[in-house]
Amino acid sequence: MSTQQRGASSKIQSSLRTESMAYPSSATANLISKAQYYARRYDKTLMVIAGVLLFGLLLAATSSPSSSMKGVGVLRGSKPSYFGGAVRLGYFFPEDAVNKKENKFYFAAVTDLDELSKVETEKKPTFRSILMPGTLTQLVKDNGKVTYSIDMDMANPRELITKHNEAGRGAEFSELQLFQNRLYTFDDRTGDVFEILNKPDGTSSFVVPRFVITEGDGETDKGMKWEWATVKNNELYMGSMGKAFTAADGTVLNRNNLYVAILNSRGELRRENWASHYDVVRQAVGAMDPGYVIMEACLWSDYLHKWIFLPRRISTEQYNDVKDEKKGANKLVMVDASFRNPTVVNIAMEDMNPLKGFSSFAFVPGTKDRHAIALRSVEEDCAIDDGDCKQRSYCLVFDVMTGEVLSPEIEIEGGHKYEGVEFVNINTKPPAV
């Protein structure tokens, strides 16, 4: 190569090197270049992927669990959505049921009137339940002994009206339970779980169905026969009477009432077969086959770390509709979380009328679950013809650990059967939406 050619080549290479300074030849530069190339080539695909990722992030944000269960997003409309599809946060706070200055506790009781729930004056099937407020006053004597007095506010009952029914039966509410600051009641005919809400002034209430739950393992078309409900580990446990459904001769037709339904804080439902759990209670009170236990009152105690069962009826004999009315019990059964080591406590009732049986109870606030208010209910001559049926309910307070009765047992006026009780201030005004 001539000197002139070498000089020209050198100038060309120098020129190429000078121009390449604007495009670094490092590995990073190569990656950037490739990224730009693929971005131009697959721009539509990348946009789709980015959109999917963004949608996923929005979905996760709107469905993530929180104490309020608030969700605002593409799947729930433009307005806030809360547990069970409600438009407000729960507003029945447990602390509002306590008046520390006057040693008073506010509570409410709800009726299950059975076939008497039907409102005969309405053209369309309409059903009612009574929500009755009450006040529990704690009395402390000079020696430190605690007793209670119970007052029902009979002048201010509230009617809960619904048209939801199963085969012409409805509003047969068998329990009251606070969960996430919401007040729930449970229809033992339809399987509906209703939320009790207040009108703006707080002086009247109404019910809204939040969930409809069928009995057994869930693959049935009959509503769950609710009898009790409680909260454990921020989940709502809902149970039935704990007895298999039998024919007149004792033949077992199904065991659907041995299942328990559980709602978590996100409104997700699961079921558990509690046949073996109920058997622990039955064995503790000596009511194995052909005997039985009718369970209408059960609570989990966070303080005692135990399940507390308060059977309505206990029998050592085969079930019979007529005889069952007089199998009222006065026993409490405590069992640990694993359903072992049951303990039986006798409630020291002065009146051992076998027609009376426990239908609900609630722990008195501030007593670490040592004291409980309870309902005892009566259904007399109801087995054959509801036209002759006589209903009534009683209320008392007792010591969970010893069975000592801490108040006079009062009869709730009106001749109605109350099956749910909870400490709640039902005069609470709802917040604005």
Tens-place pLDDT, residues 385-417: 767 899 999 999 999 999 999 999 999 999 999
Q: Three-state SS for 362?
A: strand
227 assigned ligand-binding residue: yes
- Select the more confidently predicted residue: 37 or 161: 161
Q: Is 174 annotated as a binding residue?
A: yes
The answer to whether 359 is annotated as binding is yes
63, pLDDT greater than 80: no
The arithmetic mean of pLDDT across residues 113-140, rounded, is: 97
Residue 41 domain boundaries: 3-63
> Same domain for 32 and 173?
no
Both 170 and 43 in one domain: the answer is no
Answer yes or no: is 433 within a domain: no
Query: Which parts of 153-297 are beta strand (E)?
Result: 158-162, 173-179, 182-187, 192-198, 205-212, 228-232, 235-239, 245-246, 252-254, 259-263, 269-273, 292-294
pTM recorded for the entire structure: 0.83
Averaged over 23-30, what is the pLDDT?
A: 55
> Comparing C-alpha atoms, which of 252, 393, 382, 372 is closest to residue 312?
393
Q: Which of 63, 83, 101 is the last residue of a domain?
A: 63
Domains contained in the chain, number: 2
253 and 189 within one domain:
yes
Reported as a single tens digit per residue, the pLDDT across 347-384 is 999 999 999 999 999 999 999 999 999 999 999 999 87
Residue 164 belongs to a domain: yes
The reply to whether 11 and 146 lie within a common domain is no
**Does residue 258 lie within any of the structural domains?**
yes
Domain shared by 220 and 112, yes or no: yes
Identify the CA nearest to 276 among candidates 242, 250, 305, 252.
Answer: 242
Check whether residue 173 and residue 271 sit in a common domain. Answer: yes
Q: 53 and 166: one domain?
A: no
Pair (194, 152) in one structural domain = yes
- Say if residue 34 is in the same domain as residue 98: no
Q: What is the DSSP letter of 384?
A: S
Question: pLDDT grade, residue 223 (50/70/90)?
Answer: very high
Asked whether residue 124 falls in the same domain as residue 26, the answer is no
Domain assignment of residue 389, yes or no: yes
Does any domain span residue 405?
Answer: yes
- Least Cα distance to 321 among 396, 247, 240 occurs for 247
Question: Is the residue at 87 inside a domain?
Answer: no
Question: What is the spatial distance between Cα 385 and Cα 382, in angstroms, rounded to a whole number?
Answer: 6
Give 65's pLDDT tier (boundaries 50, 70, 90): very low
By C-alpha distance, which of 228, 352, 234 is closest to 293?
Answer: 228
pLDDT score at 172: 98
pLDDT digits over 168-187, tens only? 999 999 999 999 999 999 99
* pLDDT above 70 as % of the chain: 84
Quick one: 298 exposed, middle or buried, by C-beta within 10 A (0-12, 13-18, 19+)? buried
Is the pLDDT at 321 greater than 80? The verdict is: yes
Domain boundary among 44, 63, 82: 63
Q: Range with the lowest mean pLDDT among 49-63, 121-135, 270-284?
A: 49-63
Q: H helices within 195-345, ranges in order?
A: 275-284, 321-324
Domain presence at residue 47: yes
Read off the pLDDT band of 193 (50, 70, 90).
Answer: very high
3-state helix, strand, coil in the chain (%, to 5): 20, 35, 45
Instruction: Please check whether residues 105 and 54 belong to one and the same domain.
Output: no
- Rounded to whole angstroms, the Cα distance separating 121 from 50 reads 61
How confident is residue 51, by pLDDT bands cut at 50, 70 and 90? confident
In angstroms, the Cα distances linking 251 to 161, 224, 246 are 37, 21, 5
Checking if the pLDDT of 11 tops 50, the result is: no
Reference 281, options 303, 296, 301, 302; nearest CA is: 296
For residue 123, is it within any domain?
Answer: yes
Identify the burial level of 352 via C-beta atoms within 10 angstroms of its C-beta, where 0-12 means exposed, 13-18 middle and 19 or more buried: exposed
Element (H, E) at 361: strand 357-363
Residue 276 known to bind ligand: no
- Mean per-residue pLDDT for 82-96? 92
161 and 249 assigned to the same domain: yes
Band of pLDDT at residue 219, cut at 50, 70 and 90: very high
